[in-house]
Amino acid sequence: MSTPAKAIVAKVIRPEIQAMQAYAVSDAAGLVKLDVMESPYRLPQDLAAEIGDIVSKLALNRYPVPSAHKLRALIHEVMQVPEGCEVLLGNGSDECIQYITAAVAREGAVVMAPAPSFAMFAMHALFLRLRFVGVALREDFSLDTEAFLAAMAREKPALVWIAFPNNPTGNAFPVADIERIVRAAPGLVVIDEAYQPFAGVTFMPRLAEFENMVVMRTVSKIGMAGLRLGYVCGRPEWIGSFDKTRSPFNINVLTEAVAIKLLQNKSVLDAQAAKVLEERERVRSELTRLAGLTIFPSAANFLLARVAGGKGAGTRVFERVKDQGVLVKDFSGGHPLLENCLRLTIGTPEENRILLSAVRESL
Ligand SMILES: *Cc1c(COP(=O)(O)O)cnc(C)c1O
């Protein structure tokens, strides 16, 4: 960049933004892609062809229906959103995080979450100049509920995020502990259920029980990451408030039409998720046998593994696994609790076979 441009950027762009790195996504070209919890399965040919037909008939010259009421009604039904609750859609749940944070962003408001957890909770707080407080998990990534309750009493957060199951650790915190947090919270608690299809537990049916709780989900981990669709379910008072911060046409015509078709065929996606679950247990039992690796409990479509050894041991294994054609996610150098930790997304049986052999060779 030329010097005058640099100087004006340095003057105008917020120092926190200058200091941060843009969200990094690795190039996976030519690699078995097991880094970001996508479903490894594409659509069956006949369903893909039907979608082609639907897309060819769309009026792309028109703006989307701003309320996306058809898709919202379908989510209500298919995802068993309780009666009396409403649904807000986002361009990925990433965008829902942005809307919720914007809606609570009073001067001086605090945002809180366990740490480590999903990076976007802290990022959107930073973007909106809110203070983010991460409450450290224990060494084994279990929730330190007493520490969390104490931090809430001290900081009085307007907004608490609980990823259930948690990313990148994979574990689901105990339901009773989350209930205590919701009951004690002075503000809103969002239960982020991005991995609900693999967890078998949900707070969705309990929305009516807690007036300060909403549930956020995404279709990204069950085969629709490319569509970008997330949603928040809760009482009309909450959803109506978040909706005011929403870009009017945030769900595009293609996403709405394709998501409707796929949710009408949800049994296809459910069957794919069931295969992933089965594979998770198989991969876990194989990895657990390897010396030099600790596998943490997971209720999601990935496993967190810690490589034994000193500083750099995890990154060395990551690089060797990559040299053998498999991309996973390396967490060394991030949150201190994640030193030497790798996150392995579960793939197809064939991809998992390649992963297991690459890991064996790399330890
Ligand atoms: C993947 C993930 C999301 C984001 O999903 P998108 O809908 O693809 O934006 C949200 N929360 C957690 C905990 C995740 O792991």
What CATH number should be reported for the domain holding residue 296?
Answer: 3.90.1150.10
Q: How far is the CA of 12 from the centre of ligand 1 (A)?
A: 31
Taking only the tens of pLDDT, the chain with its 363 residues reads 677 899 999 999 999 999 988 887 888 999 999 999 999 999 999 999 999 999 999 999 999 988 899 999 999 999 999 999 999 999 999 999 999 999 999 999 999 999 999 999 999 999 999 999 999 999 999 999 999 999 999 999 999 999 999 999 999 999 999 999 999 999 999 999 999 999 999 999 999 999 999 999 999 999 999 999 999 999 999 999 999 999 999 999 999 999 999 999 999 999 999 999 999 999 999 999 999 999 999 999 999 999 999 999 999 999 999 999 999 999 999 999 999 999 999 999 999 999 999 999 999
Instruction: Spell 91-113 as b/e; 16+ CB within 10 A means b.
Output: bbbbbbbbbbbbbbbeeebbbbb
Nearest to 211 by CA among 241, 182, 231: 182
Any ligand 1 atom below 6 A from CB of 171: no
Same domain, 137 and 194: yes
Pairwise CA distance, residues 183 & 149, whole Å: 10
**How many CB atoms within 10 Å of residue 87?**
20
Same domain, 277 and 248: no
Task: Give the residue whose CA is nearest to atom 5 of ligand 1.
Answer: 93
In this predicted structure, what is the pLDDT of residue 26? 87
Same domain, 261 and 309: no
Task: Give the residue whose CA is nearest to atom 2 of ligand 1.
Answer: 194
Query: Of 265, 298, 331, which one is at a domain's C-terminal end?
Result: 265
Q: How far is the CA of 245 from the centre of ligand 1 (A)?
A: 19
Same domain, 238 and 327: no
Domain annotation covers residue 257: yes
Same domain, 219 and 277: no
Pairing of strands 302-307, 131-136: unpaired
Same domain, 36 and 112: no
Six token digits for residue 40: 């490894």
Any ligand 1 atom below 6 A from CB of 192: yes
Any ligand 1 atom below 6 A from CB of 165: no
Range of the structural domain that residue 346 is part of: 3-44+267-362
Pairwise CA distance, residues 172 & 299, whole Å: 6
Query: Of 265, 283, 317, which one is at a domain's C-terminal end?
Result: 265
Same domain, 342 and 245: no
Domain annotation covers residue 52: no
Same domain, 296 and 255: no
Task: Give the residue whose CA is nearest to atom 11 of ligand 1.
Answer: 194
In this predicted structure, what is the pLDDT of residue 22? 83
Query: Of 265, 296, 330, which one is at a domain's C-terminal end?
Result: 265
In this predicted structure, what is the pLDDT of residue 1? 62
